[in-house]
Structure formats: structure tokens, C-alpha cells
Structure 1
Amino acid sequence: MNRLSAFWLAVPVLNTAQQLLLKQSALAISQTGETGWLAQLFVSPWFAAAILAEIVCFFIWMRVLSELDLAKAFSLSAISYVFILASAWLFFGEPVTIEEIGGSMLIMLGVWCLSSPSHSA
């Protein structure tokens, strides 16, 4: 697991980047005030970068899945929720509630438990 941990961490980082880029593209489109938002979306550099992040993430995810059980890999990817919450607060000034902080701490605890070596009896 140790040799793969840096590699699988790229998945939540890229997922977070993708969500930030999609949010930025949505904000840019809403500021244009035009009704042709779909056409604006397809020429948005923010949207293009989000698609690129998703494509790169897909290939890394396939590599992770080739080396980890699906249940473990998918559970570890839950760290994306924590990264996205923190990034939304940091970059967009979105409010964070105490419940969200508590939930994020539980997610981190779960990820820590999953990434710890299992001890078989």
C-alpha cells in the first residue's frame, strides 16, 4: 500500500481540482448573462481544464483499481469530500458548518483506518 499511497492521493487531488474548475466555469458563465450558456461552457478554458483533470484522473484511477480492491480504493477516495469542502471555503469563501467539520473528521478517521495495515489473527 505504501508505494501506491502517493499515486492514489492524486485521485482526490484531481477530483478537487476538477470541482474547483467546474465551479469557476459556472461562475464565469453566470456573469455573462447570456442565454447561450451551453455554448459559453464549451469555449470556457475553465471547463476545458476540468475535462482534462477528469481524463487524467480516469487513467490514474484505473491504475489504482488494478492494485487495490474496489471497496478499499473507493473508500479511500472519500478524502475528496474533505478536500473539496476545504477548497470551497478557501477559494470561494463558502461557509463551513460545525457539522461539515465533524463529518470531515470522521471521513479522515475512516481513511486513516483503511490505510492502516490490517492485523490478521
Structure 2
Amino acid sequence: MVDLSQYLPILIFLAIALGLSAAFVFLPMGVSRLTGTHNPDANKLSEYECGFPAFEDSRSQFDVRFYLVAILFIIFDLEAAFLFPWAVSLEFTGWAGWITMMIFLFELIIGFAYAWKVGALEWE
């Protein structure tokens, strides 16, 4: 027979986390309805991030260059995230770590040159 009592602290932790997250989401909504501060009108429900109302269907397709720029950003952001730990641990990894990072950077440079060549970074 398997003793599942070892998992009890994890289940308690998950129950507390679920209860707190639900309280942080639903408690403010309930309090605002009870106190009368829930008063939506056209100005509160208007678009505030972009500054103007949507002029097309929200399900319209984006230009593929938008996704390409986003992917390039993620790739080079990850590169920056890898460079710091590599630089800190370089004395422990030695020449093998240095050569591996140079290969990684060379591959990124090739990808960047290709993206530049095909015009992925040009925005119209």
C-alpha cells in the first residue's frame, strides 16, 4: 500500500494558493458591487491602451513581419539572458564554455544577418 500522507502538505499549499488567488480576483469585484462603485459607462468601457476605437475586425490577421520582429526580440532577449550566467561561470567552464558560447553567438549573428538581408527589420 502506498503512503500518500507525504503529499498532504503540497495539497494544503495548493488549496491555500487557490483560495487566496480566488479571493484576490473575486473579492474586489464583489465589494465594488456591494458598495456601489461598480458603475460602468461608455467612458470607462472605451479603449484606453491604443487611444482610438478599433476600426477593423478584432480577428483580422497581422502582417507576418509583426510576428517575425516579435520572434527576433525573444531570440535576442534570450541571448542577453544567457550571456550573464556564461560570463559569471566562465572561469569554471574554461575553454569549452568559451568555444560553445562563441558558436552560439555565431549562429545568432548568422540569423540576424539573414533577417536583415530579407528585410525582416524594415517597417513600413
Q: Fold conserved (TM > 0.5)?
A: no
Q: Which has the larger radius of gyration?
A: 2
- With structure 1 as the length reference, what TM-score do the two structures score? 0.35
- With structure 2 as the length reference, what TM-score do the two structures score? 0.34
